[in-house]
Amino acid sequence: MSSAVVVEAPGAHRLVAHTPRPPGPGEAQVRVHAVGICGSDREVYQGNRPEGYVRYPLTPGHEWSGTVTETGAGVPDSLAGRKVVGEGFRNCQVCDRCHAGETTLCTAGYEETGFTLPGAMATTLTLPARLLHVLHDDADLTAAALLEPAACVAAAALKAGARPGERVAVVGTGTLGMFAVQFLRALSPAALLVVGTRTDRAALAREFGATDFRTKDQDLPGDFDVVIETAGSADAARNAAALLRRGGRLVLTGIPAPGADGLDPTDLVVRQLEVHTVFGAPPDAWAHAVRMFGAGLLDPLPLVTHELPLTEFPHAIELVGAGDPKVGKVLLRP
């Protein structure tokens, strides 16, 4: 029987029968292969996602992969049967930000798959075909389920603008941090430092291309050209900025809890640091992540530690928030 997870309200969920929605004009229906769980899904379930960024009742799931089963009017028939991933932000396509390609800044307001609109924790997902990115026919769909967080890091890598031979660093060793290492490695840096609290990630970071691994308690150099921060801890932004040379470039992707140590504006001005932020992934970042994946330069699979059925949704949520170093990326298989 087809099924779906529905979070009725914070802390309350149920598994329901799922009736696939036929695609309308411009839409495609996808048979979901796998859906990832991240901290924001835990926020949805616990009820502490910021107001306006969730709408109950809700079928979560914004990180996913699958195969197109049916297309609506105006969508090429050739899309049917193709392996795909898809963007989550539902942009208006007509405001100035959308025309500039900055779809995550759409002025029509926030709408996103798995948060305000039905997500992929179901047998099928129907969405606008324009949001889909087609994968190679031999693509590993389990690995591809992680391309949404990879696209967010791709946005950070594009904003960082690292060039071959530069000294680069990553702060954070979670899923985003490990993707950042892979994106930066592809640019042939002179040095690639990873800073994190999880020393168990040191070997994997080096496997992905890091040349050095340190904790924030160790002596850290301050001569890096580029730093991508992915930790989201209270002091991560300040620690990341401290790694930079004068005129260096910093990209922040983590979202710390209220009360975090802010960046020192005097330090930013005196050292002429260039600071960027990322929330979500626009189309060019998605395309970059999909290209990297297709070229074999991005390997998400080592990050997956658990694959569970939809019926194990509450257990999956517990795993994500347990802080167990043995738990990496958790996937649900509809």
Q: Tell me the per-residue pLDDT of 56-86, one tens digit each, with 9 for 90 and over.
A: 999 999 999 999 999 999 999 999 999 999 9
User: How far is residue 175's CA from residue 80's CA, in Å, rounded to a whole number?
Assistant: 31
Residue 2 has what pLDDT? Answer: 85
Residue 321 has what pLDDT? Answer: 84
pLDDT higher than threshold 90 for residue 148:
yes
- pTM of this structure: 0.95
Burial of 102 per CB tally in 10 Å (0-12, 13-18, 19+): middle
Residue 77 has what pLDDT? Answer: 95
What does the mean pLDDT of the chain come to?
A: 96
Could you report the per-residue pLDDT of 180-226, keeping only the tens digit for each?
A: 999 999 999 999 999 999 899 999 999 999 999 999 989 999 999 99
Mean pLDDT of 315-334: 92
Q: Among 317, 291, 241, which residue's Cα sits nearest to residue 135?
A: 291
SS (H, E, C) the chain: CCEEEEEEECCEEEEEECCCCCCCCCEEEEEEEEEEECHHHHHHHHCCCCCCCCCCCECCCCEEEEEEEEECCCCCHHHCCCEEEECCECCCCCCHHHHCCCHHHCCCCCCEECCCECCCCECEEEEEHHHEEECCCCCCHHHHCCHHHHHHHHHHHHHHCCCCCCEEEEECCCHHHHHHHHHHHCCCCCEEEEECCCHHHHHHHHHHCCCEEECCCCCCCCCEEEEEECCCCCCHHHHHHHCEEEEEEEEECCCCCCCCCCCCHHHHHHCCCEEEECCCCCHHHHHHHHHHHHCCCCCCHHHEEEEEEHHHHHHHHHHHHCCCCCCCEEEEEC
User: How far is residue 241's CA from residue 104's CA, in Å, rounded to a whole number?
Assistant: 25
pLDDT band at 324 (very low <50, low <70, confident <90, very high): confident
